[in-house]
Structure 1
C-alpha cells in the first residue's frame, strides 16, 4: 500500500508496487475532490463506488475505490511533478451558470487526468435497462440540453421551481445532500450493481440516504440550486460511466 506520509514540505512520498490497481489510500491533506481530479473521475462516481454518505469526512489511511467495479487492472497514475500542467476534469456537464470548482492541489503537486473510456455502444436488441425493467422520465419538462461526452454528462430538463422530480427506476438512495459543489441539492440512487442515477439542482429533497425508493416515486422538487435557471440535471451511469440517458428513456 502507499504510505500516508502526507504533503510535508521536503518529504518524499514513496509508492509501493503492492498498491492494488483501482484503489487509492487517503493521505493527510487530501480531499475527495482532489482525489477525483487526480484519477480523472467525478465526485458522484467516487461517492457511488465507495458508498460514501459524507464526502467531506474521508479519513487518512482510508482505502477508496477509484475505478468502477470490474474495471481492467493496470498501474495507478501518480501525481505529476511540480510544474507539470494539470488538465482540469469537469465535475459534471453543468452549464456555465453552475458554480465553478475550486482547484485544490494535492501535496503541492498538480493532478493528472486519466483518459476517458470510449463511448459504450448501445446494446443490441433495444435500450439498456436497470434492474430488469425500463427507465422512466424523472421530470415532465422539455430537454433543454442534451448529453455530451465532453461538456454535459447527462440531460438538463427544464421546468418551474417546485415541479416534481421522480425516481427513474427503483433503488436505494446512496447520497442526498448539497456537499458536492456544482450539483446543488443532489440525489444519487443506486439501482443495482451496474446502474446509478443522478438528480441535481433540486430545490427540496424529499428522501434520505439509505432509503429505498420505488420507480416513479417523488424524490425531490425541481429547483435552481447552483444553476442559472430552474432545471433538473439528470444522469444515468453504468459502472460509474455516464451514458446518454436518451438511450435508456422511453420516447415521448
Structure 2
C-alpha cells in the first residue's frame, strides 16, 4: 500500500488496501502442509506468501526478494524454487519466537512524529480476549494485533464509519471486513466466521460487525489493524485499557 490520503473511489480504495494488507502479512494464516524446504531452497506451494516463507525459513522478506529478484507486489508461483539463507531448523524456531515477542514500538521507517497523537480519535476494543501476537516492526512482521477468543464471539466496530470491504478474496485473511472512519483512518478485521455487515453500510462505534472465527488462521482469533494515511500503526497505543470503555 502506498502512503497518502485514502480519497479514491471505493473500488480503487479496496484494491490498494488489499495489496497493502498482502504485503503487511498476517501471521495467523494457514495453508496446509509446508512446501519443500531443503535448507538452501524452498519450493513454493499453494497458499504461500513471502511472509509465511520468511517465518518457515528464517529468511527475512527483504532478503527473499533480493535473493530471488522479486519486485513488488512480490508475486510468487506454485512450484517456484526460492533461494533462502540456509537457516537450520533451530534458527527457524528462534525466528518465530522472536517475532512473537517483538517489542511494540513504532517502525524506524515511520517516525513516531508522523503517527497521530493518542486521543485524536475515539476507539474501542473490537473484541475481548488475550493479545496473542502484538504489532511488530520487523520486516514482514504483524502490522496489527491478534486477539484470541471463542468461535462465535462478537466482533465490534472499533469506531464509527462506513464499510468499504466485506469478503474473503485476500488469501491469508479469511473473512475480512474493512471500515473507513475518515480520509485518514481505516480499520481491518480478519479471520472472522460470520460477517454481519455489507459494503457501503454505515456502522456505529461498538456495533457488531462479525463473529470471531478461524478462517485462514491456525486458531480462533481476530487480526485487527488501524491504518493512518495508509500506514499500519500500533493499535495498542490507541485503544483504551482492555475491559474499559473509551473516554470520549
TM-score by length of 2: 0.60
Give the distance between the partners of 1:202 and 1:110, measured in 2 at CA: 31
5 Å matches for 1:28-43?
41=1
Match of residue 185 from structure 1: 175
Match of residue 160 from structure 1: 150
Equivalent of residue 202 in structure 2, options 172, 195, 212: 212
Give the alignment's Cα RMSD to 1 decimal.
Answer: 3.8
5 Å matches for 1:38-117?
41=1, 50-52=9-11, 91-95=23-27, 97-99=29-31, 100-101=47-48, 110-112=70-72
Give the distance between the partners of 2:7 and 2:240, measured in 1 at CA: 25
Q: Offset at 1:121?
A: 1.0
Give the distance between the partners of 1:66 and 1:188, measured in 2 at CA: 10
Gaps spanning 5+ residues in structure 2: where? 32-46, 51-68, 75-106, 243-248
Q: Offset at 1:97?
A: 4.1
CA separation of 1:124/1:243 partners in 2, compared to 1, >3 Å: closer, same or farther? closer
Give the distance between the partners of 1:124 and 1:66, measured in 2 at CA: 22
Match of residue 101 from structure 2: none
Deviation string 1:124-180 (CA, Å, 9 cap, x unpaired) is 9951433xxx10000011111100022100000000110000000000000000011
Match of residue 222 from structure 1: 212
Q: Offset at 1:52?
A: 1.9
Give the distance between the partners of 2:200 and 2:162, measured in 1 at CA: 6
Matched, 1:240 2:230: yes
Q: Offset at 1:251?
A: 1.2
Give the distance between the partners of 1:146 and 1:50, measured in 2 at CA: 31
Give the distance between the partners of 2:217 and 2:18, measured in 1 at CA: 28
- Is the CA contact (8 Å cut-off) linking 1:122 and 1:247 kept in structure 2? no
Matched, 1:127 2:59: no
- Is the CA contact (8 Å cut-off) linking 1:49 and 1:65 kept in structure 2? no
Match of residue 148 from structure 1: 136
Gaps spanning 5+ residues in structure 1: where? 1-40, 59-63, 69-88, 104-108
Q: Offset at 1:120?
A: 3.5
Secondary structure of 1:127's counterpart equals coil
More helix, by proportion: 2
Task: Between the two structures, name the one with larger relative contact order (CA 8 Å, sep ≥ 6).
Answer: 2
- Is the CA contact (8 Å cut-off) linking 2:7 and 2:183 kept in structure 1? no
TM-score by length of 1: 0.59
Secondary structure of 1:207's counterpart equals coil
Alignment size in residue pairs: 174
Give the distance between the partners of 1:244 and 1:192, measured in 2 at CA: 18
